[in-house]
Chains A and B, each alone.
Chain A
Amino acid sequence: MLRVIDVKKYFPVGTRIFGKSRHYLKAVDSISFNAFQGDSIGIVGESGSGKTTLARVILRLIEPTSGEVYFNNINILKLGRREIWKLRPKMQMVFQDPMASLNPRKKIKQILSQVFEIHTNLTRQEILERVIELLEKVGLTPPELFLDRYPHELSGGQRQRICIARAIALNPELLIADEPVSALDVSVRGQIVNLLLDIYEQYRITYIVISHDIALIKNICKNALVMYLGKMVERGEIEKIINEPLHPYTQLLISTIPIPDPEIARKRKRVSVIGDIPSLLNPPRGCYFHPRCPYSMDKCRLEYPPLVEVDDRLVSCYLYS
């Protein structure tokens, strides 16, 4: 089980030689959510909204500014190096770009077996068997063909399968997939999504899928969390969010999903949005979305709206309070 409580990550900007910098880039600002064993949560938002930073904090690849992350009731942000290392096999991540996240000078065999080398006491032969098993599990058959290849000799989809194999090697309880298909050709995306779903069904692990594509989240996850400029704007069941988005930003995201049937597509309410995503360095006063929001009121310009519960969902918008 994973509990994320009020996590913040501020990056200092323009460091001065003496003293601390006064400006901060609030990449992740007060994000909280729970995920029980077997839950699947999608984190949606456009680029620069702090999705990947949040994932890094949860895995403690970077230190947050404040907040707590409980994994099986252990606050992982308070653990020492040794203890966090022991937890590593239980929480794994699939990275955005499969080519860049594999060491170009190592063979597939070496990349996968080093996971076992550092966390188990298996012999060489046993490790090789496990690696072959893994390759079969992620659909790279015959496995012997891939053992001695280098990452650049594989296709994008095959590389992502290797990354997934590395992440599930030690049966994790939490798997974070950061834009698992956005670096891939459309033709192999479906295969990778199916592989991710198979793994989810098989292991019943806690899933966090990060994507800018809400349609992908709909295919994989039960719950979703919508982020805008480091803030959580809406959280709830994905079905409800898709069918009846509350926050104007979520409505905008939903309206970007292509609908195959033109008849229905024509009937869809179009959300018009003005302007670009503002800079994180200098976010607008009040609600971060108000300069682009079609429903913006005077109140929106003054203060950031608090999260309110509406229809089993959390939303931060003055339209609902």
Chain B
Amino acid sequence: MANRVYPLICYISRLTKRLNPRLMTGIILISFLILIALLAPLITWYPPLKSLVGKPFTPPNLQHPFGTDDLGRDIYTNVIYGIRTSLTIGVSSVIIALLIGVIAGVLAGYYSGIVEDVLMRLTDMTLILPQFLLALVIVAIFGQSFQNIILAIGIVSWPGIARMLRAEFLSIKERPFIEAARAVGLSDMRIIFGEILPNAIPAVIPYVVLQVNTAILVEAGLGFLGVGDPNVPSLGLMLNTAQQYLTRSWWMALFPGLVLSFLVVALNLLGDGLIDYMNPRLRKR
């Protein structure tokens, strides 16, 4: 047992030496938050969104560590479940954005001519629309459900990914090993997905992480404006309710706000750290 664990520790310590402090902190904070989100049912003792588990407007005490809100719901429980919602929405909407963005970026970058022109104009058109407003309109039209919010955020955040991938493709496809691949007789699909994409991905990863961050903020913003899904615990929605009672019960705004900031800072650290990590010229040897 011991001689199995020892190499593992060595490996981890070697790995941590190569990571920069921002990336390290980001990884630790995000793992902590993911852990909380996963363990939500175990570390809370009320069902989420259930009214009157305590007296309304109870200040923080042992029973309700973050107090209760206007409907007597436990804020601690809802904040913990809110992390879960935020992360789910952030990650799934970015996956949707990735699906659209990768297809558009790859095609526009690899094939020049009409394909590129049409796709890039489409990307520009989406890009000039204010992200938040567009998401707001989509949710307002199609209804305030959890899936619609994910879809709306996904649809507004693909252009950045598409543009970055296209730029990477434009430069990588001119490199000699692509010509070598063509001389050997590789098909376009194999060149795109086997040769170019693996070389383009590292440049896009930090951006994708930061995009998760934006998605979480957009979701919170939608909730704050009252177009969140009322059936899902959301940090934004909680802040929306809290502003009406800000003068009499500060705890209703403080804890969801703190947790949201914590989430955003953690993701920012992770994304920024990754940018440095992926750029070997900035990496200290």
Q: Is A49 among interface residues, defined by CB-CB distance under 8 A?
A: no
- Report the minimal beta-carbon distance from A137 to chain B, rounded to whole angstroms: 17
List the 10 shortest-distance A-B pairs measured between CB atoms, nearest first. A88-B185, A100-B176, A101-B180, A101-B176, A105-B198, A103-B177, A93-B183, A101-B177, A85-B185, A95-B176
> Which of A88, A101, A105, A166 is the one whose CB lies under 8 Å from B199?
A105
A103 touches B190 (CB 8 A): no
Known: A61-B179, A95-B179, A118-B190. A103 touches B195 (CB 8 A): yes
Distance of A96 Cα from B190 Cα, bound (Å): 23
B198 touches A166 (CB 8 A): no
A59 touches B183 (CB 8 A): yes
Known: A103-B195, A104-B199, A105-B199. A115 touches B180 (CB 8 A): no
> Which of A101, A104, A105, A119 is the one whose CB lies under 8 Å from B185?
A119
A89 touches B185 (CB 8 A): yes
Q: Is B231 among interface residues, defined by CB-CB distance under 8 A?
A: no
A97 touches B187 (CB 8 A): no
| A115 / chain B contacts, CB cutoff of 8 Å | 184
- Report the minimal beta-carbon distance from A62 to chain B, rounded to whole angstroms: 9
Provide 29 A-B residue pairs closer than 8 Å at the C-beta atoms, listed in order of the A residue: A56-B179, A61-B179, A61-B182, A85-B187, A88-B183, A92-B183, A92-B184, A93-B183, A95-B176, A96-B176, A97-B176, A100-B176, A100-B177, A101-B176, A101-B177, A101-B179, A101-B180, A102-B180, A103-B177, A103-B181, A103-B198, A105-B198, A114-B194, A115-B184, A118-B184, A118-B185, A118-B187, A118-B190, A163-B180
Distance of A89 Cα from B176 Cα, bound (Å): 18
Distance of A103 Cα from B184 Cα, bound (Å): 13
Q: Is B186 among interface residues, defined by CB-CB distance under 8 A?
A: yes
| B194 / chain A contacts, CB cutoff of 8 Å | 114
| B181 / chain A contacts, CB cutoff of 8 Å | 103
Q: Is B248 among interface residues, defined by CB-CB distance under 8 A?
A: no
> Which of B182, B183, B186 is the one whose CB lies under 8 Å from A114?
B186
Interface members, chain A 78-95 (any B CB < 8 Å): 85, 88-89, 92-93, 95
- Report the minimal beta-carbon distance from B81 to chain A, rounded to whole angstroms: 40
| B199 / chain A contacts, CB cutoff of 8 Å | 103-105
**With contacts A56-B179, A114-B186, A118-B186 known, what are 13 further pairs, Cβ within 8 A?**
A61-B179, A61-B183, A88-B183, A92-B183, A92-B184, A95-B176, A95-B179, A96-B176, A101-B177, A103-B177, A105-B198, A118-B184, A119-B185
Distance of A76 Cα from B180 Cα, bound (Å): 18
Interface members, chain A 257-314 (any B CB < 8 Å): none
Q: Is B175 among interface residues, defined by CB-CB distance under 8 A?
A: yes
- Report the minimal beta-carbon distance from A170 to chain B, rounded to whole angstroms: 9
| A119 / chain B contacts, CB cutoff of 8 Å | 185
Interface members, chain A 136-181 (any B CB < 8 Å): 163, 166
Q: How many residues of A contact B (CB 8 A)?
A: 23
| A102 / chain B contacts, CB cutoff of 8 Å | 177, 180
| B180 / chain A contacts, CB cutoff of 8 Å | 93, 95, 101-102, 163, 166
Distance of A149 Cα from B176 Cα, bound (Å): 20
Distance of A115 Cα from B182 Cα, bound (Å): 11
**Residue of chain A at shortest CB distance from B195:** A103
Known: A105-B198, A105-B199. A166 touches B176 (CB 8 A): no
Distance of A95 Cα from B15 Cα, bound (Å): 36
- Report the minimal beta-carbon distance from B44 to chain A, rounded to whole angstroms: 44
- Scoring B residues 118 to 136 as 1 if CB is less than 8 Å from chain A, else 0, what string do you get? 0000000000000000000
Interface members, chain B 153-168 (any A CB < 8 Å): none
- Report the minimal beta-carbon distance from A80 to chain B, rounded to whole angstroms: 14
| B184 / chain A contacts, CB cutoff of 8 Å | 88, 92, 114-115, 118, 166
Interface members, chain B 194-211 (any A CB < 8 Å): 194-195, 198-199
**Residue of chain B at shortest CB distance from A151:** B177
| B185 / chain A contacts, CB cutoff of 8 Å | 85, 88-89, 118-119
Distance of A22 Cα from B179 Cα, bound (Å): 28
| A95 / chain B contacts, CB cutoff of 8 Å | 176, 179-180
| B175 / chain A contacts, CB cutoff of 8 Å | 100
**Residue of chain B at shortest CB distance from A97:** B176
Max chain B CB contacts within 10 Å: which of A89, A103, A114? A103
| A93 / chain B contacts, CB cutoff of 8 Å | 180, 183
Distance of A16 Cα from B199 Cα, bound (Å): 33
- Report the minimal beta-carbon distance from B111 to chain A, rounded to whole angstroms: 14
| A118 / chain B contacts, CB cutoff of 8 Å | 184-187, 190
**Residue of chain B at shortest CB distance from A93:** B183
- Report the minimal beta-carbon distance from B213 to chain A, rounded to whole angstroms: 27
| B187 / chain A contacts, CB cutoff of 8 Å | 85, 118
- Scoring A residues 111 to 133 as 1 if CB is less than 8 Å from chain B, else 0, what string do you get? 00011001100000000000000
Distance of A280 Cα from B3 Cα, bound (Å): 67
Distance of A100 Cα from B181 Cα, bound (Å): 12
Distance of A166 Cα from B181 Cα, bound (Å): 10
